[in-house]
Structure 1
Amino acid sequence: MFTKIIVPVDISTLDKGADIFRKAASLLDEGGKIILLHVVEEVPSYLAIDMPADLIANATDEAQDKLVKLRDDTGIDAEIELRSGPPAREILACAKERGADLIIIASHRPDFSNYLLGSTADRVVRHAVCSVLVRR
Protein backbone atom coordinates (compact mmCIF):
# COMPACT_ATOMS: atom_id res chain seq x y z
CA MET A 1 0.00 0.00 0.00
CA PHE A 2 2.59 2.56 1.13
CA THR A 3 6.36 2.62 0.66
CA LYS A 4 7.42 5.37 3.07
CA ILE A 5 5.44 6.19 6.20
CA ILE A 6 6.20 8.94 8.70
CA VAL A 7 5.05 8.12 12.24
CA PRO A 8 5.35 11.17 14.51
CA VAL A 9 5.39 10.06 18.14
CA ASP A 10 4.81 12.24 21.18
CA ILE A 11 6.82 10.47 23.86
CA SER A 12 4.49 11.80 26.56
CA THR A 13 1.74 9.57 25.10
CA LEU A 14 3.80 6.56 24.12
CA ASP A 15 0.81 4.19 24.16
CA LYS A 16 -0.75 6.11 21.26
CA GLY A 17 2.63 6.12 19.55
CA ALA A 18 2.86 2.33 19.81
CA ASP A 19 -0.65 2.02 18.37
CA ILE A 20 0.06 4.13 15.29
CA PHE A 21 3.46 2.47 14.85
CA ARG A 22 1.78 -0.95 14.64
CA LYS A 23 -0.80 0.46 12.23
CA ALA A 24 1.99 1.81 10.02
CA ALA A 25 3.62 -1.62 9.93
CA SER A 26 0.34 -3.17 8.77
CA LEU A 27 0.06 -0.65 5.91
CA LEU A 28 3.68 -0.84 4.75
CA ASP A 29 4.58 -2.47 1.44
CA GLU A 30 7.29 -5.09 1.43
CA GLY A 31 10.61 -3.29 1.21
CA GLY A 32 9.04 -0.07 2.48
CA LYS A 33 10.35 2.14 5.26
CA ILE A 34 8.88 3.58 8.43
CA ILE A 35 10.38 6.71 9.95
CA LEU A 36 9.65 7.15 13.67
CA LEU A 37 9.79 10.89 14.28
CA HIS A 38 9.83 12.92 17.45
CA VAL A 39 9.93 16.70 17.49
CA VAL A 40 11.38 18.45 20.51
CA GLU A 41 9.68 21.82 20.78
CA GLU A 42 11.97 24.79 20.98
CA VAL A 43 11.89 26.91 24.11
CA PRO A 44 11.42 30.64 23.49
CA SER A 45 14.61 32.56 24.23
CA TYR A 46 12.98 34.66 26.94
CA LEU A 47 12.22 31.43 28.85
CA ALA A 48 15.45 29.64 28.00
CA ILE A 49 17.45 32.09 30.11
CA ASP A 50 15.96 30.63 33.30
CA MET A 51 16.28 26.98 32.26
CA PRO A 52 19.21 24.59 32.56
CA ALA A 53 21.49 24.73 29.52
CA ASP A 54 21.25 21.01 28.85
CA LEU A 55 17.43 20.83 28.95
CA ILE A 56 17.01 20.39 25.17
CA ALA A 57 19.88 17.91 24.97
CA ASN A 58 18.32 15.86 27.79
CA ALA A 59 14.91 15.95 26.09
CA THR A 60 16.47 14.77 22.84
CA ASP A 61 18.36 11.95 24.57
CA GLU A 62 15.19 10.85 26.39
CA ALA A 63 13.21 10.85 23.14
CA GLN A 64 15.91 8.83 21.38
CA ASP A 65 15.93 6.24 24.17
CA LYS A 66 12.14 5.91 24.23
CA LEU A 67 11.87 5.56 20.45
CA VAL A 68 14.60 2.91 20.37
CA LYS A 69 12.78 1.03 23.16
CA LEU A 70 9.47 1.31 21.25
CA ARG A 71 11.11 -0.05 18.11
CA ASP A 72 12.81 -2.87 20.01
CA ASP A 73 9.69 -3.80 22.02
CA THR A 74 7.49 -4.03 18.93
CA GLY A 75 10.08 -5.74 16.75
CA ILE A 76 9.12 -3.47 13.86
CA ASP A 77 12.00 -2.18 11.76
CA ALA A 78 12.07 1.61 11.56
CA GLU A 79 14.45 4.50 11.19
CA ILE A 80 14.45 7.04 14.03
CA GLU A 81 14.62 10.75 13.38
CA LEU A 82 14.68 13.57 15.92
CA ARG A 83 14.02 17.19 15.07
CA SER A 84 13.46 20.40 16.97
CA GLY A 85 11.03 23.18 16.24
CA PRO A 86 7.27 23.55 15.86
CA PRO A 87 5.89 19.99 15.60
CA ALA A 88 3.54 20.45 12.63
CA ARG A 89 6.18 22.27 10.59
CA GLU A 90 8.83 19.64 11.30
CA ILE A 91 6.49 16.72 10.56
CA LEU A 92 5.56 18.26 7.20
CA ALA A 93 9.21 19.02 6.41
CA CYS A 94 10.25 15.46 7.23
CA ALA A 95 7.51 14.04 4.99
CA LYS A 96 8.52 16.29 2.11
CA GLU A 97 12.27 15.68 2.47
CA ARG A 98 11.80 11.91 2.74
CA GLY A 99 9.24 11.65 -0.06
CA ALA A 100 6.68 10.05 2.24
CA ASP A 101 3.43 8.79 0.82
CA LEU A 102 1.67 8.59 4.22
CA ILE A 103 1.80 10.27 7.61
CA ILE A 104 0.06 8.47 10.47
CA ILE A 105 -0.52 10.78 13.40
CA ALA A 106 -2.32 10.32 16.72
CA SER A 107 -4.87 12.86 17.82
CA HIS A 108 -6.71 13.60 21.01
CA ARG A 109 -10.35 14.52 21.26
CA PRO A 110 -10.74 18.14 20.20
CA ASP A 111 -11.71 20.72 22.76
CA PHE A 112 -12.42 24.41 22.55
CA SER A 113 -8.75 25.39 22.36
CA ASN A 114 -8.39 23.40 19.12
CA TYR A 115 -10.96 25.61 17.46
CA LEU A 116 -9.00 28.74 18.37
CA LEU A 117 -5.43 27.55 17.84
CA GLY A 118 -5.60 24.24 15.99
CA SER A 119 -3.80 21.09 17.00
CA THR A 120 -0.70 19.58 15.44
CA ALA A 121 -2.80 16.92 13.70
CA ASP A 122 -5.11 19.60 12.28
CA ARG A 123 -2.18 21.51 10.82
CA VAL A 124 -0.60 18.39 9.36
CA VAL A 125 -3.87 17.37 7.69
CA ARG A 126 -4.39 20.82 6.21
CA HIS A 127 -0.90 21.26 4.79
CA ALA A 128 0.41 17.78 3.92
CA VAL A 129 1.12 16.96 0.29
CA CYS A 130 0.73 13.22 0.98
CA SER A 131 -2.03 11.15 2.54
CA VAL A 132 -2.59 11.53 6.28
CA LEU A 133 -4.23 9.01 8.59
CA VAL A 134 -5.37 10.45 11.90
CA ARG A 135 -5.80 7.85 14.62
CA ARG A 136 -7.84 8.54 17.77
Structure 2
Amino acid sequence: MTQTVLLPIDLAVPATWDKSLPRALNLADGGTLHVITVIPNFGMSMVGSYFDEGFIKQALHDVGAQLGDWIRANIPDAQDVHPHVTHGRIYDEIIRAASKLDVDVIVLGAPRTDLAEYLLGPNAARVVRHAPQSVFVVRG
Protein backbone atom coordinates (compact mmCIF):
# COMPACT_ATOMS: atom_id res chain seq x y z
CA MET A 1 0.00 0.00 0.00
CA THR A 2 1.36 3.41 -0.97
CA GLN A 3 1.88 5.74 1.94
CA THR A 4 2.34 9.45 2.23
CA VAL A 5 4.66 10.00 5.16
CA LEU A 6 5.71 13.14 7.03
CA LEU A 7 9.09 13.04 8.76
CA PRO A 8 9.77 16.01 11.05
CA ILE A 9 13.46 16.51 11.77
CA ASP A 10 15.76 18.91 13.57
CA LEU A 11 18.79 19.29 11.32
CA ALA A 12 20.99 20.13 14.31
CA VAL A 13 19.98 17.02 16.29
CA PRO A 14 20.69 13.73 14.48
CA ALA A 15 18.87 11.84 17.24
CA THR A 16 15.61 13.26 15.83
CA TRP A 17 16.10 11.37 12.58
CA ASP A 18 18.82 8.71 12.80
CA LYS A 19 16.38 5.98 13.85
CA SER A 20 13.15 7.45 12.46
CA LEU A 21 14.48 7.99 8.91
CA PRO A 22 14.81 4.25 8.10
CA ARG A 23 11.26 3.67 9.41
CA ALA A 24 9.90 6.56 7.35
CA LEU A 25 11.64 5.29 4.22
CA ASN A 26 10.23 1.83 4.81
CA LEU A 27 6.69 3.16 5.19
CA ALA A 28 7.03 5.50 2.21
CA ASP A 29 8.37 2.78 -0.10
CA GLY A 30 6.52 3.39 -3.36
CA GLY A 31 4.89 6.50 -1.93
CA THR A 32 5.81 10.04 -1.02
CA LEU A 33 8.03 11.19 1.81
CA HIS A 34 7.63 14.74 3.07
CA VAL A 35 10.47 15.99 5.28
CA ILE A 36 9.80 19.04 7.43
CA THR A 37 11.97 21.14 9.68
CA VAL A 38 10.59 24.02 11.70
CA ILE A 39 12.30 27.24 12.67
CA PRO A 40 10.86 27.92 16.14
CA ASN A 41 9.08 31.12 17.12
CA PHE A 42 10.98 33.71 19.06
CA GLY A 43 8.51 33.35 21.91
CA MET A 44 7.64 36.86 23.00
CA SER A 45 7.27 39.47 20.28
CA MET A 46 9.72 41.63 22.22
CA VAL A 47 12.48 39.10 21.45
CA GLY A 48 11.74 39.26 17.71
CA SER A 49 12.36 42.99 17.71
CA TYR A 50 16.09 42.34 18.27
CA PHE A 51 16.44 40.59 14.91
CA ASP A 52 16.98 42.46 11.65
CA GLU A 53 14.06 42.93 9.28
CA GLY A 54 14.06 40.05 6.83
CA PHE A 55 15.73 37.68 9.31
CA ILE A 56 13.00 35.04 9.06
CA LYS A 57 12.95 35.15 5.26
CA GLN A 58 16.73 34.68 5.16
CA ALA A 59 16.59 31.96 7.83
CA LEU A 60 13.91 30.07 5.86
CA HIS A 61 16.11 30.27 2.75
CA ASP A 62 19.26 29.15 4.58
CA VAL A 63 17.55 26.30 6.40
CA GLY A 64 15.91 25.26 3.13
CA ALA A 65 19.35 24.95 1.54
CA GLN A 66 20.57 22.91 4.53
CA LEU A 67 17.52 20.66 4.29
CA GLY A 68 18.21 20.13 0.59
CA ASP A 69 21.78 19.10 1.42
CA TRP A 70 20.51 16.74 4.13
CA ILE A 71 18.07 15.13 1.70
CA ARG A 72 20.77 14.61 -0.94
CA ALA A 73 23.00 13.00 1.70
CA ASN A 74 20.39 10.80 3.39
CA ILE A 75 17.49 9.95 1.06
CA PRO A 76 17.88 7.47 -1.80
CA ASP A 77 17.49 9.03 -5.25
CA ALA A 78 14.62 6.67 -6.10
CA GLN A 79 12.48 7.96 -3.21
CA ASP A 80 9.89 10.63 -4.04
CA VAL A 81 10.72 13.27 -1.43
CA HIS A 82 9.49 16.80 -0.80
CA PRO A 83 11.25 19.19 1.63
CA HIS A 84 9.36 21.74 3.73
CA VAL A 85 10.67 24.50 5.98
CA THR A 86 8.23 26.42 8.15
CA HIS A 87 8.33 28.91 10.99
CA GLY A 88 6.22 28.83 14.13
CA ARG A 89 5.41 26.59 17.06
CA ILE A 90 7.02 23.29 16.23
CA TYR A 91 4.10 21.01 17.08
CA ASP A 92 1.55 23.32 15.43
CA GLU A 93 3.58 23.45 12.22
CA ILE A 94 3.98 19.67 12.11
CA ILE A 95 0.25 19.11 12.60
CA ARG A 96 -0.63 21.85 10.08
CA ALA A 97 1.73 20.41 7.46
CA ALA A 98 0.43 16.87 8.01
CA SER A 99 -3.14 18.03 7.38
CA LYS A 100 -2.28 20.30 4.46
CA LEU A 101 -0.24 17.55 2.78
CA ASP A 102 -2.88 14.92 3.57
CA VAL A 103 -0.31 12.47 4.92
CA ASP A 104 -1.22 8.99 6.08
CA VAL A 105 1.27 8.88 8.92
CA ILE A 106 3.72 11.10 10.81
CA VAL A 107 6.96 9.34 11.70
CA LEU A 108 8.39 11.11 14.70
CA GLY A 109 11.79 10.52 16.25
CA ALA A 110 11.76 10.73 20.05
CA PRO A 111 15.30 10.80 21.35
CA ARG A 112 15.70 9.52 24.89
CA THR A 113 16.78 12.04 27.46
CA ASP A 114 18.62 11.42 30.71
CA LEU A 115 15.86 13.04 32.75
CA ALA A 116 12.76 11.35 31.39
CA GLU A 117 13.62 8.09 29.70
CA TYR A 118 9.98 7.07 29.43
CA LEU A 119 8.46 10.42 28.52
CA LEU A 120 8.13 12.10 25.15
CA GLY A 121 9.42 15.61 24.66
CA PRO A 122 6.82 18.38 24.71
CA ASN A 123 6.59 18.75 20.91
CA ALA A 124 6.35 15.01 20.27
CA ALA A 125 3.75 14.58 23.00
CA ARG A 126 1.60 17.37 21.57
CA VAL A 127 1.81 15.94 18.05
CA VAL A 128 0.80 12.51 19.36
CA ARG A 129 -2.14 13.97 21.31
CA HIS A 130 -3.47 16.38 18.69
CA ALA A 131 -2.65 15.10 15.19
CA PRO A 132 -5.64 13.56 13.39
CA GLN A 133 -3.23 11.30 11.49
CA SER A 134 -1.57 8.20 12.86
CA VAL A 135 1.75 8.98 14.55
CA PHE A 136 4.54 6.41 14.54
CA VAL A 137 6.92 7.28 17.37
CA VAL A 138 10.43 5.90 16.97
CA ARG A 139 12.33 5.86 20.23
CA GLY A 140 15.99 6.81 20.11
| TM-score w.r.t. length of structure 2 | 0.80
Change (3 A) 1:65 1:18: farther
In structure 2, the partner of 1:21 is: 21
* Residue 135 (structure 2) pairs with residue 132 (structure 1): yes
Cα deviation code 1:10-66 (max 9, x no counterpart): 122135324422321112242x10001011112232111122334323332232122
Contact 1:2 1:101 in 2 (8 A): no
Give the 3-state SS of the residue equivalent to 1:134 in structure 2.
Answer: strand
- Write the letter of the residue equivalent to 1:120: N
Of 89-98 and 56-65, the range deviating more from structure 2:
56-65
Paired with 2:14 and 2:56, the residues of 1 have a C-alpha distance of 19
Structure 1 distance, partners of 2:130, 2:82, is 24
Contact 1:107 1:121 in 2 (8 A): yes
Percent of residue pairs identical: 23
Instruction: State the superposition RMSD in angstroms.
Output: 2.1
Alignment coverage as a number of residue pairs: 131
AA of the residue aligned to 1:87: I
Does residue 73 (structure 1) correspond to residue 76 (structure 2)? The answer is no
- Distance verdict in 2 for CA 1:73–1:15, change over 3 Å: farther
Alpha-carbon distance change, 98 to 46 in structure 1, aligned in 2, over 3 angstroms: same
CA contact (8 A) 2:4 2:32 kept: yes
**Aligned match of 2:36:** 37
Moved over 4 A (4+): none
Gaps of 5+ in 1: none
TM-score using structure 1 length: 0.82
